[in-house]
Amino acid sequence: MSVADTETSVSTRDRILDAAETLFIEHGFAGTSVRAIATEAGVNLAATNYHFGSKKGLFSAVFQRRVQPINEERLQRLSRLQKEVQVGKRKLTIRLVLECFFEPLRHVDPGIPALVGRMHGEPASLTRPILEEAFLEVAGAFHGALRQVLPELSHEELRWRFHFMIGSMIHLLQMHAPLGSESTHDTFTSGVPRLINFVQAGMAHTDNGKVYD
């Protein structure tokens, strides 16, 4: 492939991905037709099946493209934190772990949160395989880190709190899914610190009102 070739080829693929992302966010998977995607992208109807095999394949590709950089940064931050802890440079706290998990959400394309939020609203039969593949490693790593910093919690209790944490996050992500304005990103940026505070309190609470740091 020449440079020119690569450019046109990638351009078509990416135009499809961009259009599909927009429409999937707005109308969901079943509510979006391949025809609408092709029209929005300005490409031929058959191009989507040529590049992605099927509508499901396209849906999966749209999601993977966005979520992989986020998860990579999450793991990067966590492993950097754990190294600093090993060296004795830092003390491992709930807040630091949560920041590794949530902060990457602030520095990404404004459309991404909406997509991740929409993803969690789709029927599980469609999304479960995609989500499991995408989040298995990240969920395991952060679950482990939180267990390390909250050793007095039973596994079951930690699983529940982890669950609520994900729920709070997803609801923040879904919050502005239907709106496409610039305020989306601003509101979201200011929401992340509040989310961290909220989740930290929920994670650390004990029955007598004491909280961990």
Partner DNA sequence: TGACGTACCAAACGAACGTTTGAACTTTCA
Partner DNA sequence: TGAAAGTTCAAACGTTCGTTTGGTACGTCA
* Contacts with DNA, residue ranges (CB under 7 A): 1-2, 4-5, 8-9, 11-13, 32-36, 43-51, 54-56
Site string for a copy of itself, 138-157 (x = CB under 8 A): -------------------x
We find the least distance from the C-beta atom of residue 190 to a copy of itself, in angstroms, to be 9
Q: In angstroms, how far is the first alpha carbon of the chain from the final one?
A: 55
**Encoding tokens for residue 130?**
């995609």
- The nearer residue to DNA, 2 or 154, going by C-beta atoms, is 2
**Encoding tokens for residue 128?**
């479960």
User: Which range in 81-89, 104-112, 142-150, 202-210 contacts a copy of itself by CB under 8 A?
Assistant: 202-210
Of 123, 129, 140, 144, the one binding a copy of itself by CB under 8 A:
123
User: Which range in 4-12, 59-67, 122-130, 138-146 contacts a copy of itself by CB under 8 A?
Assistant: 122-130
Of 6, 9, 10, 31, the one binding a copy of itself by CB under 8 A:
31
Q: 174: Cβ–Cβ under 8 A, 6 or more apart, which residues? A: 114, 117, 118, 120, 121
Q: 204: Cβ–Cβ under 8 A, 6 or more apart, which residues? A: 94, 150, 211, 212, 213
We find the least distance from the C-beta atom of residue 119 to a copy of itself, in angstroms, to be 9
178 contacts which partner out of DNA, a copy of itself, none, CB within 5 to 8 A by kind?
a copy of itself
| Separation of alpha carbons 46 and 22, rounded Å | 19
- Quickly list H helices, the chain: 3-27, 34-41, 45-52, 55-86, 94-102, 111-119, 124-149, 155-175, 183-204
